[in-house]
Amino acid sequence: MRPISRRDALILGGLGVAGTAAGAAGLWWSLGSTVGPLGGAGLELRNPPELRSAGGRLQLRLEAARGGLDVGGRRALPMLYNGSLPGPTLRLRAGDELAIRLVNSLAEPTNLHLHGLHVSPQANGDNVFVTVNPGDSFDYSYRLPAGHPPGVYWYHPHHHGLVAGQIFAGLFGAVIVEDPEPINVSAEHVLVVSDTTLDFAGNTAAASPLERMAGREGELVLVNGQSSPLLTARPGERQRWRIINACVARFLRLRMDGQQLDLIGMDSGRSLVPEAVDEVLLAPGNRADLLVTASAGESVLQALPYDRGGMAGMMGQGPSAGRGAAALATFRVSGESAASPGTVAARPAGEDLRTAAEAAHRQLVLAMGAGAGGMGGGMGGMMRFSINGREYSESRTDTIVPAGSVEEWTVVNTSPMDHPFHLHVWPMQLIDSDGRALTSVVMRDVVNVPANGRVTVRIAFRDFTGRSVYHCHILDHEDLGMMGVIEVR
Ligand code: C2O
Ligand code: CU
Ligand code: CU
């Protein structure tokens, strides 16, 4: 049980009616329903279809449409890219050109964002200000720089106001930028973790205002659209698992006892040497590049409970409360031992922005507060989600940065809930997280800013100019206004 802080009490006061808050707690409690394998559990993991660049180019048509599909063992009508959940995995190399014709066969507007890729945000590049209306299509074209970091990236819609709903409904897919020198593994799997809630008819359930304020978490937690699929290996085998947190708001505290896990990268780039880990925490939007060295037996890849805080009135019964571990997948290791895969070569150290001349320091304050009219009117009232006191406006540029400069940003969270902070196009180097300075170079494109905490990052605004955005990657919060516009010029 979290005690009510003075700040919570202030927010509670701002809500006007204590009874409303109590009702809210009840609702949130019911969100924390059990998550476990349903029908279809134990089926072999399906890898999404793969499209690979050739001769420096990948061109594809990507259609967003509703389609009938088995989701976690249930008949459902999700939104899909090219009819699959997740959409096709795009495999690219540094220096490649990627051309995507996005076809919108949905009944609402959409667009496309390549999360984490270091590409131009202008024109028909990674431009989130583009709108593709129902029945229309748009030709995107991206060029990865020659030195683009390898890693696990992903794509999803980014039409402000509809992002959470479209991702919750199934619109996401993986992008892999291959290593210059391959790592010796016996198998590679892409595991896109998502969550959703289906209504009785198999449609994606709509989120209530309260669920949106908390950040919606689905009743089903899926891996590649499956409920608790099976992965297999022989003892001694080394596999590479590329794990993407495509959930709208759920944090994934991953753990798999009985197996050796080595993290070789998170978000963009590779670590210098593999790092043995027991747990990996993925905020919404984060990815992990993991080596799994198999030991005989059966293990469960679990998402353990993570407390991401809550709002006043939730009284310790926040979105993450009252919930046990979710079983994401089963890993079965049996048979004859495989030959040793050998060691993984260390990577050369990259640039360390801590030693760079710092051009400017900025502070960004992520805040939640009672909106105009408050919530006194009942459940319809929305809390305000802001950055530096302002809600998102497409026409306003909040932050202007000189091209080529290195900046230090401190992101402050004044709310009682975690906010995973995401910046498009330019990766962030984590400098200090809640008072703990980092000792090594850690690059991220989503950094979690803990409830009432702060994080400092450094960013090199190189290679591209143009307008883009930063926002909370609890996508309900982004849709509700916790997003700002940056222009590099
Ligand atoms: Cu993954 Cu702006 O988003
Ligand atoms: Cu992004
Ligand atoms: Cu948030």
Q: Which residue has the higher pLDDT, 3 or 385?
A: 385
Q: What is the DSSP string of 421-434?
A: EEESSS-EEEEEET
Residue bearing the CA closest to ligand 1, atom 1: 115
- Give the pLDDT band (50/70/90) at residue 378: very low
- Ligand 1 neighbours, Cβ below 6 Å, are 113, 115, 156, 158, 285, 422, 424, 471, 473
Closest ligand 1 atom to Cα of 128:
2
Ligand number nearest to the C-alpha of 156: 1
pLDDT of residue 41: 73
List the end-to-end C-alpha distance of the chain, in Å, as a whole number. 48
How far are the Cα atoms of 149, 255, 357 from residue 442, in angstroms, in the given order?
13, 21, 18
- ∠ Cα 418 78 171 (to 5°): 55
Q: How far apart are CA 375 and CA 373, in angstroms?
A: 7
CB 45 within 8 A of CB 54: no
| Nearest CA among 325, 198, 329, 312 for reference residue 250 | 325
Tokens of 311: 């709002």
Closest ligand 1 atom to Cα of 156:
1
Closest ligand 1 atom to Cα of 158:
2
Q: What is the pLDDT of residues 174-183, one digit of tens each?
A: 999 999 988 9
Closest ligand 1 atom to Cα of 483:
2
Q: How far is the CA of 171 from the centre of ligand 1 (A)?
A: 13
Mean pLDDT of 8-36: 32
CB 163 within 8 A of CB 110: no
Whether residue 26 has pLDDT greater than 50: no
For strand 238-245 and strand 360-370, is the pairing parallel, antiparallel, or unpaired? unpaired
Ligand number nearest to the C-alpha of 157: 1
Closest ligand 1 atom to Cα of 478:
2
Q: What is the pLDDT of residues 129-164, one digit of tens each?
A: 999 999 999 999 999 999 999 999 999 999 999 999
Q: How far is the CA of 175 from the centre of ligand 3 (A)?
A: 24
pLDDT of residue 357: 83
Ligand number nearest to the C-alpha of 424: 2
Whether residue 36 has pLDDT greater than 90: no
Q: How far is the CA of 227 from the centre of ligand 2 (A)?
A: 26
Q: Which residue has the tokens 């803990």?
A: 450
Q: How far apart are CA 76 and CA 68, in angstroms?
A: 6
pTM over 0.75: yes
| Nearest CA among 261, 260, 266, 259 for reference residue 281 | 266
Q: How far is the CA of 474 from the centre of ligand 1 (A)?
A: 10
Closest ligand 1 atom to Cα of 424:
2
pLDDT of residue 4: 34
14-46 as b/e: b if 16+ CB within 10 A:
ebbeeebbeebbebbeebbeebebeebbeeebe
Q: How far is the CA of 321 from the centre of ligand 2 (A)?
A: 28
Q: How far is the CA of 373 from the centre of ligand 2 (A)?
A: 32
Q: What is the pLDDT of residues 453-485, one digit of tens each?
A: 999 999 999 999 999 999 999 999 999 999 999
Q: How far apart are CA 17 and CA 15, in angstroms?
A: 6
Give the count of alpha carbons within 13 A of 235, CB side only.
9
Q: How far apart are CA 134 and CA 108, in angstroms?
A: 6
Q: Spell out which residues have Cβ within 5 A of ligand 3, the ion.
A: 419, 472, 474, 477
Q: Which domains does the chain show, CATH number per domain? A: 189-333 (2.60.40.420)
For strand 275-277 and strand 260-266, is the pairing parallel, antiparallel, or unpaired? antiparallel
Residue bearing the CA closest to ligand 1, atom 3: 115
Compute the Cα dihedral for 72, 279, 422, 307 and give only its sign.
Answer: positive
- ∠ Cα 244 122 150 (to 5°): 35
Q: What is the pLDDT of residues 315-369, one digit of tens each?
A: 444 565 556 799 999 999 999 999 989 899 888 888 999 998 877 999 999 999 8
Ligand number nearest to the C-alpha of 249: 3
Q: How far is the CA of 261 from the centre of ligand 3 (A)?
A: 29
pLDDT of residue 350: 84
pLDDT of residue 310: 87
pLDDT of residue 317: 47
Q: What is the pLDDT of residues 286-301, one digit of tens each?
A: 999 999 999 999 999 9
Ligand number nearest to the C-alpha of 246: 1
Least confident of 200-204, 294-298, 317-321, 411-415: 317-321
The amino acid at residue 1 is M
Q: What is the pLDDT of residues 254-283, one digit of tens each?
A: 999 999 999 999 998 888 899 999 999 999
Q: What is the pLDDT of residues 80-119, one digit of tens each?
A: 999 999 999 999 999 999 999 999 999 999 999 999 999 9
Tokens of 371: 């909106």
Q: How far is the CA of 266 from the centre of ligand 1 (A)?
A: 16
